[in-house]
Each structure stands twice: as C-alpha cells, then as structure tokens.
C-alpha cells in the first residue's frame, strides 16, 4: 500500500469515525464480514418448499430476531433457502426506506432454524469471526456514524435503497477482539437498563391513553340526545385542492393536525398534490384504511389531505365541532367502525362512506354538547400534559442510548473505566 493510499484511508476513517484509540483501526465492512441482499419475496409457489420469512417489519421493529416472533409463511427455492437462511450471530439490516435517514436499521439474530430465511428488502451481514465479534458488529452497525454513511450511499427518489454493490463500503471501527467483546458486553448491559426505563414510560403512555378513553366514555355516557344517522350530519366533500395549501395528517391519538408538526411522520408528500382534497375547519376527516383503530377526527385546521381519505362536511349547524370530534373518536364509536369495515384481515379493512353513513349517534342539545366538550377538554388536557412528559423522557432516553452506542464503538469512552464506575 502506497503512502498516498494510506493517507486516503486515514482521511476516510477520520471523516466518519473521528480519532480512535491506539490499536484501533477503521475498516470497510467487507474486511470484517460478508454482506449480501435477499431476493426472497412474500410469495407462495406450488412445488417449492415451505419456509418462514424474517421480513422487513421484523427487523425494523426489533433489536433482536428470536423465536418469539411470528414469522410469515411463504415458499422459496432450495437455492434461496441455502443462500438466505439466517444464522445466530448474523446481523440483518433494512436496505430500503422512504427516506435516506431511515435506512440500515439493524437487528441481531439470536435464533435460527432450517426453514427460517431472510426476506426481501433486507440484507444479511455475517461476521468474519477472525476479525470481529458478532455482537460488536451489530452495535457498530447500530451507531450514528454508520447510519450517516448509509444515508450517503442510499440511492433513489421516491424510495431509496442501498445497492448490493455499495453494501460493503461503509467504514466501521475495528478495535482488538478482546476490546470488541468488552464493548459488546458493556453495551448489552447499559442499553438493557435504558430499554427497561423506556418500557416503563411506554407502559405509562398506554395507561394514560386508556384513561383518556375512559374520560370520553364517562362524560359521553352522561349526555342524552336524539338518535341521528351520520348521513344526516355530514356529506362527502370532493372540493378540489387549491394552491399553497398546508398538508394535514390524521393520527389515531391526535386527530387531524398539520403534517409538518410531527417529526415522526416518515411518509413523504408527493410533489403533485393536485388530487388532494381541501379540508375546512369543522370537516370530519376519515382514514378509510385505519378508521377501525380510531384514525379520524374533526379538523380545526384548513388544509389538504390525500384523496385516499374521506372528507365529510357538516350539513347542519346543530353540531358543535369540538363535541363531534370527541364523540366520533370515542371507544364506542370505534367499535362501530370496526364492525362496519370491509376486508379479510385488519391490514385490508376499509370503512366506506355508505357504511359509515348508516351509523346512528345520539346528538344532545347544543348547550349540552358545549358543556360535555368543555369537560372532556379540561380533563384530557391534564392527561395530555402527562403524556407529553412521558414522551419527552422516552426521547431523551433514546438519544442517550444512541450517543452511548456511538461513544463506545468509536472509543470515545473507556469501557473498562466506565464499567468500574458503574459497579
């Protein structure tokens, strides 16, 4: 290796990993592991062996692949089974996403079976045990410097992906093997503690969400009104999109809000929104695909939504929009949406206007609507404040977890010293 090549490698390593301790080096992924993408799709072909697929969602939503996961059944050729069967110690990564900053998400394989293979949109990274400890490799692939490299390597417009030829180009840190083992053990222990704290906060969030639903049930049970079909309250609106309108989204827990107000909304808005529908304050917006889970709401905003949503305009002035928002998102109403949705399984359920229009609701006098809406708002705002606090704790814990992983795998902290202080 010439001096010029050595200098180029040194600059590349420093660019992504910064200064590392003596004895450490930076290496391309192909120097420490074999990596290849899968082409096994979710198909069942007659005559092919039956397999279980570890799919994109299994990796994206889990830090580890173990025997508790409910893997999808499909078929594959004998050649695919041989090439894409996963093994304990592998790391699987997501190779495709809608945005470049949400790519290369890893999961460590703790379980293997003769019929369990890696599915489409994923890649297998299999460590060279002479160069890298399997769990250290997982933690390195979970670090922020590697995530930034995936973002640079990702190619595509509406959907981005890591090309198979680029998969092994990322630079990872390679300390001596004994230090790799120590770092892996340290991160296993420290992240487990953080994950336990996050799990407690997430449990709190679910309890608070249940309390909000109880408030709705309790207050709405105390009001009485005349029965009324939904078709008498609303009518479909197909008002065409105007220029420079704000894009809105529908959330199960929040209702209708500006899409730009949430950082966790990864669905890109297409460049052409000409077919989007106008939403006016007071309109009921229904996500037809997820209404069965409560994804709808009366909008307080003007904007536009995808034509895949149902936009319903009020046809009466005898309906308080805030009361309508709470009433139509109440647990008892969500049960009605679930019963009337069409489809074989939840992922295919759709709630269409003719079925929604036939639902009967009780509408009390306007003063009762306003009183009930005010009471619900007061009680749920206090719960929302607790929810926001719990979400903040979760976000901070996840930031600390990410920073800890990066610091450990790049040598910014002395794992031995840190472990002694912790004990």
Domain-embedded: residue 194: no
**Residues 163 and 254 reside in one and the same domain:** no
Residue 15's pLDDT is what? 80
Structure token pair of residue 271: 């460049």
**Residues 116 and 14 reside in one and the same domain:** yes
pLDDT in tens, 383-403: 999 999 999 999 999 999 999
Confidence of residue 5 (pLDDT cuts 50, 70, 90): low
**Residues 229 and 170 reside in one and the same domain:** no
Domain-embedded: residue 131: yes
Residue 43's pLDDT is what? 86
**Residues 132 and 281 reside in one and the same domain:** no
Domain final position from 346, 363, 380: 363
**Residues 235 and 153 reside in one and the same domain:** no
Domain-embedded: residue 69: yes
Is the confidence at residue 325, as pLDDT, over 80? yes
Residue 193's pLDDT is what? 97
Domain-embedded: residue 369: no
**Residues 167 and 246 reside in one and the same domain:** no
Q: What angle do CA 329, 331, 337 make, to 5 degrees?
A: 70
Domain-embedded: residue 402: no
**Residues 24 and 163 reside in one and the same domain:** yes
Domain-embedded: residue 375: no
Write down the mean pLDDT value for the chain.
91
Confidence of residue 202 (pLDDT cuts 50, 70, 90): very high
* pLDDT > 70 in the chain, percent: 92
**Residues 349 and 236 reside in one and the same domain:** yes
Which residue in this structure is represented by tokens 């307080």? 300
- Kindly state the helix (H) or strand (E) to which residue 125 belongs, with its residue range: strand 122-127
Is the confidence at residue 188, as pLDDT, over 60? yes
Is the confidence at residue 257, as pLDDT, over 70? yes
Distance CA 12, CA 26 (A): 9
Domain final position from 316, 344, 363: 363
Domain-embedded: residue 190: no
Residue 24's pLDDT is what? 94
pLDDT in tens, 101-153: 889 999 999 999 999 999 999 999 999 999 999 999 999 999 999 999 998 98
Residue 345's pLDDT is what? 82
Is the confidence at residue 12, as pLDDT, over 80? no
Question: Span 292-300, mean pLDDT?
Answer: 94
- Kindly state the helix (H) or strand (E) to which residue 147 belongs, with its residue range: helix 144-153
**Residues 31 and 118 reside in one and the same domain:** yes
Question: Span 267-271, mean pLDDT?
Answer: 61
**Residues 287 and 171 reside in one and the same domain:** no
C-beta contacts of 213-218 below 8 A and 24+ residues apart: 213/330, 213/331, 215/376, 215/379, 215/380, 215/383, 216/326, 216/329, 216/330, 216/331, 216/376, 216/380, 217/330, 217/331, 217/332
Is the confidence at residue 422, as pLDDT, over 80? no
Residue 407's pLDDT is what? 96
Domain final position from 133, 156, 175: 175
How many domains does the chain contain in total? 2
Domain-embedded: residue 94: yes
Domain of 339, CATH number, reads 3.90.220.20
For residue 111, what are the domain limits?
Answer: 3-175
**Residues 255 and 331 reside in one and the same domain:** yes
**Residues 48 and 169 reside in one and the same domain:** yes
pTM, two decimal places: 0.79
pLDDT in tens, 405-415: 999 999 999 88
* pLDDT > 90 in the chain, percent: 75
């Amino acid at each position: 290796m010439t001096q010029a090549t050595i200098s180029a490698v040194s600059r590349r390593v420093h660019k992504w990993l910064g200064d590392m301790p003596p004895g450490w080096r930076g290496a391309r992924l192909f120097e420490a592991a074999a990596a290849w993408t899968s082409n096994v799709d979710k198909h069942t072909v007659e005559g092919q062996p039956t397999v279980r697929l570890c799919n994109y969602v299994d990796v994206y939503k889990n830090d580890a692949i173990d025997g508790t996961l409910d893997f999808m059944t499909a078929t594959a050729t004998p050649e695919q089974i041989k090439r894409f069967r996963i093994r304990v110690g592998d790391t699987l990564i997501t190779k495709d996403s809608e945005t470049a900053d949400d790519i290369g998400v890893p999961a460590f394989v703790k379980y293997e079976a003769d019929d369990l293979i890696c599915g489409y949109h994923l890649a297998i990274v299999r460590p060279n045990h002479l160069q890298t400890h399997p769990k250290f490799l997982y933690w390195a692939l979970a670090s922020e410097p590697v995530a930034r490299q995936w973002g640079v390597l990702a190619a595509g417009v509406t959907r981005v992906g890591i090309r198979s030829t680029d998969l092994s180009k990322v630079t990872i840190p390679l300390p001596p093997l004994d230090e790799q083992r120590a770092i892996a053990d340290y991160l296993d222990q420290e992240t487990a503690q953080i994950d336990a704290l996050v799990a407690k906060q997430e449990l709190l969030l679910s309890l608070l969400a249940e309390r909000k639903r109880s408030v709705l049930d309790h207050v709405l049970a105390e009001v009485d009104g005349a029965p009324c079909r939904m078709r008498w309250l609303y009518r479909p609106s197909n008002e065409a999109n105007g220029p420079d309108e704000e894009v809105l989204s529908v959330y199960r827990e929040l209702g209708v809000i500006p899409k730009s107000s949430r950082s966790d909304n990864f669905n890109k808005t297409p460049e052409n929104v000409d077919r989007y529908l106008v939403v006016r304050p007071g309109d009921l917006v229904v996500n037809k695909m997820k209404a069965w889970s409560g994804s709808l709401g009366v909008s307080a905003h003007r904007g536009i939504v995808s034509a895949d949503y149902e936009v319903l305009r009020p046809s009466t002035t005898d309906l308080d929009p805030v009361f309508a928002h709470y009433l139509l998102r109440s647990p008892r109403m969500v049960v009605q949406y679930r019963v009337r949705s069409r489809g074989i399984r939840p992922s295919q359920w759709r709630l269409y206007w003719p079925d929604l229009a036939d639902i009967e609701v009780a509408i009390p006098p306007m003063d009762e609507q306003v009183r009930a809406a005010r009471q619900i708002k007061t009680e749920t705002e206090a719960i929302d404040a607790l929810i926001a606090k719990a979400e903040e704790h979760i976000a901070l814990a996840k930031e600390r977890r990410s920073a800890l992983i990066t610091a450990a795998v790049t040598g910014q902290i002395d794992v031995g010293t840190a472990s002694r202080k912790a004990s």
